[in-house]
Amino acid sequence: MTAFIDSSVRARLRVCAVIGTVAAFGLVFLWATAASAQDRMHQITWAHASPGTVIRFVVLISDTDGVATDARQVDVGKPQASQAGSLSVFTAMVSFADDQYLAVAAVGHNGQISLPSDWAGSPPTRPGQPLLVSP
């Protein structure tokens, strides 16, 4: 009878060990995934042809290229602009993960948001280099 109990206890311990190992690997995988997709501050730059019609800008951040419906919106206000020919160039710091996509939209004086700009992907590899978003 004692041998039967011992083998049954050993079998349970083996099952618990396997479950624990699988759970540990799962947690390591989740941690690695979360660490690789962590948000970081990035400088983004965009241009607008008629900033007088804009009260603020919104940065759309999405996990999928070109999909605005599920995008997170970050209001960046209306930063101080610099002139580049007939365009006003704006820069803002925004937090997003390296594997996310973003676009910029303008909010007019009537409160309506414009269509988003072209979507941009991963940020530049050189530190301090802004991510350019095409209007």
Please, which residues have CB within 8 angstroms of residue 43's CB and are 6 or more apart in sequence? 91, 92, 93, 128, 129, 130, 131
Q: What is the CATH number of the domain that holds 49?
A: 2.60.40
Q: Note whether 66 and 128 are same-domain residues.
A: yes
Closest C-alpha to 68, from 43, 100, 102: 102
What pLDDT is attached to residue 38?
82
User: Residue 54 forms beta bridges with which residues?
Assistant: 108
**pTM across the whole model:** 0.65
How many CB atoms are located within 10 Å of the residue 119 CB? 19
Express each pLDDT in 105-132 by its tens digit: 999 999 999 999 989 886 555 555 556 6
Q: How far apart are the first and last CA of the chain?
A: 79
Q: Which residue has the higher pLDDT, 54 or 13?
A: 54
Q: Which domain holds residue 76?
A: 39-133
Enclosing H/E stretch for 95: strand 87-97
Q: Note whether 88 and 46 are same-domain residues.
A: yes
What pLDDT is attached to residue 39?
85
What pLDDT is attached to residue 72?
95
Number of folded domains that form the chain = 2
Q: Judge contact between 43 and 96, C-beta under 8 A.
A: no
- Classify residue 57 by burial, with Cβ atoms within 10 Å: 0-12, 13-18, 19+: buried
Q: Note whether 68 and 102 are same-domain residues.
A: yes
Structure confidence at residue 103 as a pLDDT band (50, 70, 90) = very high
